[in-house]
Structures are given as C-alpha cells and as structure tokens.
Amino acid sequence: MCYMDTREKIIEFFKSRGKGDGLTYDTDLFKGGYVNSLFALEMVVFLEETFKIKLKNKDINEKNFRTIDSIASVVEKYTQGDR
C-alpha cells in the first residue's frame, strides 16, 4: 500500500467516527480536539488490524500521532519493514 492510500484510510477512519469536519492531513489532532485518550486506543487497534502491524509502545506517542501525515509515516515504517 502506498503512503497516499494509507493517509486516505486513516482519514476515512476519522470520518467514520464523526471526526472529519475540517480535518486535513496536517491538522494538529490534539489541538483540534480530534483525539482523546480513548479515541487514541481505538485508533491504535484500527491501525494494527487494518495494516496488519503491531505498533511498539515507543512509537505510540504524541509526536507520531499529531497529524494524519505523521500517523501515515509511522504505519509506512512498519509496512515497509523499518521497525
């Protein structure tokens, strides 16, 4: 899967949860109120199941989950074998 497809799947996840209004690939998800702790856990499960990856605890942090682009970059590292 390419980076652009990954971004689309992630943004569709947000939209399916009613969190798509005004969301762009570089929106700060924390400042914008798109993510809280419960939603972050739901997102990790979604990423692991959808992309067939197992995220390491060290990669589940605010920096990596700040934007759709940063989340897609983390997913790409795992799917490309750079773990």
What local confidence, expressed as pLDDT, does residue 74 receive? 96
The structural domains of the chain, ordered by start, are 3-79 (1.10.1200.10)
Q: Is 38 exposed, middle or buried (0-12, 13-18, 19+ CB in 10 A)?
A: exposed
Condensed to tens digits (0 to 9), the pLDDT of residues 32-75 reads 999 988 999 999 999 999 999 999 999 999 999 999 999 999 99
Condensed to tens digits (0 to 9), the pLDDT of residues 11-39 reads 999 999 999 999 999 999 999 999 988 99
Q: What are 57's two structure tokens?
A: 């605890």
- pTM of the full structure: 0.91
What local confidence, expressed as pLDDT, does residue 61 receive? 93
